Chains A and B, each alone.
Chain A
Amino acid sequence: MANYELKDLVEWDARIRDKVAEFGLDCFTQEFELCDHFGMIGYMAYSGMPSHYPHWSYGKSYEKLKTLYDHGVSGLPYEMVINSDPALAYLMRDNTLLLQILTIAHVYGHNDFFKNNFTYRTTRASLTIELFKAHALRVRHYAEDPSIGVDKVEHVLDAAHALSWQCRRNLAIRKLSHNEQLERLVDAAHPKTDPFYRIHARPEVHEPDIHKVPVEPDEDLLLFIRDHNPFLAEWEKDLLTIVDEEAKYFLPMLETKIMNEGWASYWHKRIVESLNLEQGLHLEFIVRHNQVVRPIPGQINPYYLGFKIWEDIHRRHTNPTPEEIKRDGPPTKSGEAKIFEVRETERDSSFLRRFLTEELMREMDLFKYEARGDDLVVDKVSDEEGWREVKDTLIRNVGASSIPVIKVEDADFGQNRTLYLVHSHDGRDLQLEYGEKTLAYVARLWGREVVLETTLQGKRSLLCYNERGFSMRALK
Chain B
Amino acid sequence: MALESIFREYSHSDAEHSDRSAGDRARHRQKVRESIRENIADIIAEESIIGKDRDRVIKVPLRGIKEYRFIYGENAPGAGQGQGDTSPGQVVGKTGKDGQGKGDGQAGDRPGIDYYETDVTLDELIEIMFEDLELPNLERRALRQIPSDRSFKRKGYRHVGIRVRLDKRRTARQRVMRILAARQRHEAERALEIAGADELQANAGGAEEQAEERRFPFHQDDLRYRHVETDTKEESNAVVMCIMDTSGSMDTMKKYLARSFFFMLYQFIATRYRNVEIVFIAHHTEAREVSEEEFFHKGEAGGTFISSGYLKALEIVNERYHPSLWNIYAFHCSDGDNFDSDNPAALKSAKELSELCNLFGYGEIKPLGSRYYESSMLNVFRRLEASNFHSVLIERKEDIWPSFKAFLAKDRVKE
Whether A300 lies near B81 (C-beta < 8 A) is yes
Complex contacts, B138 vs chain A, CB 8 Å: none
Q: Is B385 an interface residue (CB 8 A)?
A: no
Whether A397 lies near B27 (C-beta < 8 A) is no
Which of B96-104, B223-231, B244-252, B304-312 lies at the binding interface?
A: B96-104
CA distance A427 to B9 in the complex (A): 52
Given contacts A165-B111, A250-B109, contact A437 B68 (CB under 8 A): yes
Whether A59 lies near B21 (C-beta < 8 A) is yes
Which of B87-95, B120-128, B185-193, B393-401 lies at the binding interface?
A: B87-95
Complex contacts, A61 vs chain B, CB 8 Å: 107
CA distance A25 to B112 in the complex (A): 35
Complex contacts, B29 vs chain A, CB 8 Å: 59, 63
Complex contacts, A296 vs chain B, CB 8 Å: 81, 102
Q: How near does chain A come to B279, taking the closest CB pair, in angstroms?
A: 40
Given contacts A34-B8, A59-B27, contact A434 B21 (CB under 8 A): no
Report which of A59, A366, A435 forms a contact with B80, defined as CB distance below 8 A.
A366
CA distance A301 to B102 in the complex (A): 9
Complex contacts, B152 vs chain A, CB 8 Å: none
Given contacts A165-B111, A376-B95, contact A93 B103 (CB under 8 A): no
Which of B69-77, B323-331, B333-341 lies at the binding interface?
A: B69-77
Task: Give the secondary structure class of A's interface.
Answer: mixed
Q: Is A74 an interface residue (CB 8 A)?
A: yes
Complex contacts, B55 vs chain A, CB 8 Å: none
Q: Is B204 an interface residue (CB 8 A)?
A: no
* Binary B-proximity of A347-376 (CB < 8 A = 1, otherwise 0): 000000000000000001111111101111
Whether A295 lies near B8 (C-beta < 8 A) is no
Q: Is A187 an interface residue (CB 8 A)?
A: no
Whether A370 lies near B77 (C-beta < 8 A) is yes
Q: How near does chain A come to B283, taking the closest CB pair, in angstroms?
A: 38
Report which of B19, B65, B82 forms a contact with A367, defined as CB distance below 8 A.
B82
Q: Is A44 an interface residue (CB 8 A)?
A: yes
Whether B98 lies near A376 (C-beta < 8 A) is yes
Q: Is B7 an interface residue (CB 8 A)?
A: yes
Q: Is A137 an interface residue (CB 8 A)?
A: no
Whether A13 lies near B7 (C-beta < 8 A) is yes
Whether B74 lies near A371 (C-beta < 8 A) is yes
* Binary B-proximity of A36-74 (CB < 8 A = 1, otherwise 0): 101100101111100000111111111110001000001
Complex contacts, B99 vs chain A, CB 8 Å: 298-299
Known: A13-B5, A77-B103. 14 other contacts (CB 8 A): A17-B5, A30-B3, A35-B15, A54-B23, A56-B30, A59-B21, A59-B24, A59-B25, A165-B111, A365-B81, A369-B92, A428-B73, A429-B74, A457-B75
Residues of chain B whose beta carbon lies under 8 Å from any beta carbon of chain A: 2-10, 15, 19-21, 23-31, 65-95, 98-100, 102-109, 111-112, 115
Can you report 12 A-B residue pairs in the complex whose CB atoms are below 8 A from each other? Answer: A9-B7, A48-B107, A56-B28, A57-B28, A165-B111, A166-B70, A297-B80, A300-B80, A365-B86, A427-B75, A428-B76, A438-B70
